[in-house]
Structure 1
Amino acid sequence: MEELDFFKSPDEFPPRRGGYGLVHVDCVGKRGYTNSALVNLYAKLGLHRYNWLEGTNFELDSIMKFNMRGAASPYYITLVACLPSSGLQQIFQVLVEEERLGILDLTCPISRPQGTESSKKESTPFLRPHSEPVSATHQDRLLGWTKSVIPWPSSEIGFSDTKRFYMLNESELQCDWISLYVELAICTSHRWFKARDLSNFELEIVQVAIESLHDKEPPSLKSKAAVIYIAYKDLAKARTGEPYHYQAVVRRVINEATGTLSIQGDCWIAAAATA
């Protein structure tokens, strides 16, 4: 049986009893469309996965189209990305799956240049082979994720244990994936945000600590299985007199056996801001 390409428009699918329940959205030339903020962030998450595995630096240029279902849904996104250093443009296909609604809980098993072949089950990476696959001693995803599952370290402990935590320096705080994780944590719990709302975000990353999920692997900026603790300010809220000190915890696992990126997390007003 021919493998279906869910990145196509549903009217290109061969008819089948029961249908697929997919909604197709063509984004070219449109200022707004369904779940525009989430789709933009999901597209960036897919490029983040590809860049991480391939050592590239593609950035999102525009969304061409996507297919989705209702409720917690897979998003099949076709996008245009570019390399800032050369201006090279490339069409990508990205699949991001929402595991739950109302909280950050996503998996990204596919992000590839259009036309790249892969196995039907995606059990064999379509990217170049990688050595040292991630250990299977931890789950890619945590069931029933809440911020209480991996809480913010107490003030008594803090991040003083340098064997347990890697503290990012000032230049490392500018990594674009850190802000991406925070924006995903915000927008997955506020699904009504529009793409234009993202441009109104004024987030200042204050502090980031990384904790490795591997007992034998010291934490680092490149930890493939880690918990990331992020302290940040929402400067837009600061101008309105609202609490603006926030914290976010994000659990990231990149499974090199399958190439799948799993990301879970949440954000909240820091306790110090409400004291």
Structure 2
Amino acid sequence: MVAFLSGYPRKEVDRLRRSYMKEVNKSEGFDVSGLPVPDSAPGLTEHICNDTCSPLILLYAKLGLHRYNLVQGKNLQPSSVKKYNKSMGSVNSSYYITLVAIDPATQLLQTFQTRVNELRYGELVLECCTARPLGETHICGIKKSSDHKPVEDLLHTFPEWPPKNPFKKSKRCYVLKKSELRENDDWIRLYLELAVAASNRDTLENHLVSNLKIVKVAIDTTSTQEGLDLFAIVYIRYKDSCEARVGKDVDRVAVVRRFFNEGMGSFSLVGQNLGIIQKKSNKQLLRFKPWLLYTPRWRLKAYRHSGLTLSRRVPKTRSMEFFLSQFTFRDDFTKKGKESECETVL
């Protein structure tokens, strides 16, 4: 429960707000039990997870563990989520999650804390700057150093498709073998599930993401960023059999960019997913492939919401109407929910 304080003089409200934030900062946002939230304060609401927890919170908890394992070279796995605190006042929320993690090698349980920030609602733009076992100290802030390159542009731009099909062998992209895909299935599936969950917030509670089938995975081998460690762009081709979520748009592709900036202490995921939709024309059956939209004369960017945005001018020999008539795009936000086998009872 959150208690709001009202009817106090302005000076008293300011004092209560400072006192509240002082108590919140003591636990870095992970313990706000019983704290009354002053008016207009950036408060946190506490949610206790007993036997069940939101699928989105479970994915965010896994993201925090993944960040810790990747940076520290560990192999902690999630056991259960105990509670989480959610920021108020904006559709983009910050989540302070307390969970129980297990070390498969020793079977020891330990309490783990992670903070995940949503930088855009309805899109995969996530930042995780706190991920540690309980008792370890960590400050989520920016260290001003000339050795580290700012990453604001990476947080506000989606990764683009390469000029050629990333799922075919090339100098730019490496396609994972089946054995390599099995070895890395945990984090690849996490990226895919987060990409799907982020763009289906309204239906996530009722429609599972565990039914996603990964077909092919490619990793961009040419992408490097100065001052950024653990930088990678991953292309995932998958099938989504949930009719309530994608209709008949079963064949889909996702692109996810991850990066960890040591200067900021921040691990981030930015990505999007698109459908591969067939449309029959007079001559042939065309298939939408994002990488085929890059040509010397024009370049079109594929976005998750409405399909395409013109980046360069289309040649006069072919009108925009003619070009767009060759393709069909699905808007994930205009689909109505349907009953299907992907629903689950919570």
The alpha carbon displacement at 1:241 in A equals 8.2
The alpha carbon displacement at 1:202 in A equals 1.8
Task: Find out whether 1:64 has 2:82 as its counterpart.
Answer: yes
Match of 1:9 in 2: 32
Asked if structure 2 preserves the Cα contact closer than 8 Å seen for 1:37 and 1:197, the reply is no
The alpha carbon displacement at 1:52 in A equals 0.4
Match of 1:225 in 2: 231
Query: In the superposition, relative to structure 1, how do residues 119 and 101 fare at CA in structure 2: closer, same or farther (>3 Å)?
Result: closer
Match of 2:248 in 1: 242
Match of 1:188 in 2: 198
Query: In the superposition, relative to structure 1, how do residues 117 and 48 fare at CA in structure 2: closer, same or farther (>3 Å)?
Result: same
Alignment deviations for residues 167-217 of structure 1 (CA, whole Å, 9 cap, x no partner): 21212213211010110011111113456744x62222221111142179x
Task: Find out whether 1:113 has 2:113 as its counterpart.
Answer: no
Task: Find out whether 1:44 has 2:62 as its counterpart.
Answer: yes
The alpha carbon displacement at 1:103 in A equals 0.6
| 2: CA distance, partners of 1:23 / 1:153 | 45
Query: In the superposition, relative to structure 1, how do residues 263 and 120 fare at CA in structure 2: closer, same or farther (>3 Å)?
Result: closer
| Pairing of 1:16-35 with structure 2 (within 5 A) | 18-27=40-49, 29-32=50-53
The alpha carbon displacement at 1:75 in A equals 0.5
Asked if structure 2 preserves the Cα contact closer than 8 Å seen for 1:201 and 1:234, the reply is no
Asked if structure 1 preserves the Cα contact closer than 8 Å seen for 2:167 and 2:175, the reply is no
| 2: CA distance, partners of 1:58 / 1:251 | 23
TM-score by length of 2: 0.63
Query: In the superposition, relative to structure 1, how do residues 121 and 152 fare at CA in structure 2: closer, same or farther (>3 Å)?
Result: closer
| 2: CA distance, partners of 1:201 / 1:158 | 23
| Pairing of 1:204-223 with structure 2 (within 5 A) | 204-211=213-220, 212-214=222-224
The alpha carbon displacement at 1:257 in A equals 2.9
Match of 1:129 in 2: none
Task: Find out whether 1:202 has 2:211 as its counterpart.
Answer: yes
Asked if structure 2 preserves the Cα contact closer than 8 Å seen for 1:47 and 1:60, the reply is yes
Q: How many residues align?
A: 249
Asked if structure 1 preserves the Cα contact closer than 8 Å seen for 2:125 and 2:270, the reply is yes
Asked if structure 2 preserves the Cα contact closer than 8 Å seen for 1:43 and 1:94, the reply is yes
Task: Find out whether 1:151 has 2:200 as its counterpart.
Answer: no
Structure 2: stretches of 5+ with no match in the other structure: 1-21, 280-285, 288-346
| 2: CA distance, partners of 1:214 / 1:206 | 26
Specify the SS of the correspondent of 1:224.
strand
The alpha carbon displacement at 1:256 in A equals 2.5
The alpha carbon displacement at 1:160 in A equals 3.2
| 1: CA distance, partners of 2:262 / 2:41 | 33
Alignment deviations for residues 49-103 of structure 1 (CA, whole Å, 9 cap, x no partner): 0000111111111111111124101110000111223211111110000000011
The alpha carbon displacement at 1:242 in A equals 2.4
Task: Find out whether 1:266 has 2:264 as its counterpart.
Answer: no
Match of 1:142 in 2: 154
Structure 1: stretches of 5+ with no match in the other structure: 125-134, 217-222
Specify the SS of the correspondent of 1:19.
coil
| 1: CA distance, partners of 2:155 / 2:142 | 23
The alpha carbon displacement at 1:246 in A equals 1.0
Which of 161, 165, 168 lines up with 2:170 in the alignment? 161
Asked if structure 2 preserves the Cα contact closer than 8 Å seen for 1:141 and 1:262, the reply is no
| 2: CA distance, partners of 1:143 / 1:255 | 12
Specify the SS of the correspondent of 1:172.
helix
The alpha carbon displacement at 1:260 in A equals 1.3
| 2: CA distance, partners of 1:117 / 1:254 | 19
Which of 71, 74, 81 lines up with 1:53 in the alignment? 71
Percent identity, aligned pairs only, is: 36
The alpha carbon displacement at 1:4 in A equals 2.9
Specify the SS of the correspondent of 1:142.
helix
| 2: CA distance, partners of 1:116 / 1:181 | 26
RMSD: 3.2
Amino acid at match of 1:21: G
Query: In the superposition, relative to structure 1, how do residues 91 and 141 fare at CA in structure 2: closer, same or farther (>3 Å)?
Result: farther
Q: Which structure has more RCO (C-alpha within 8 Å, separation ≥ 6)? A: 1
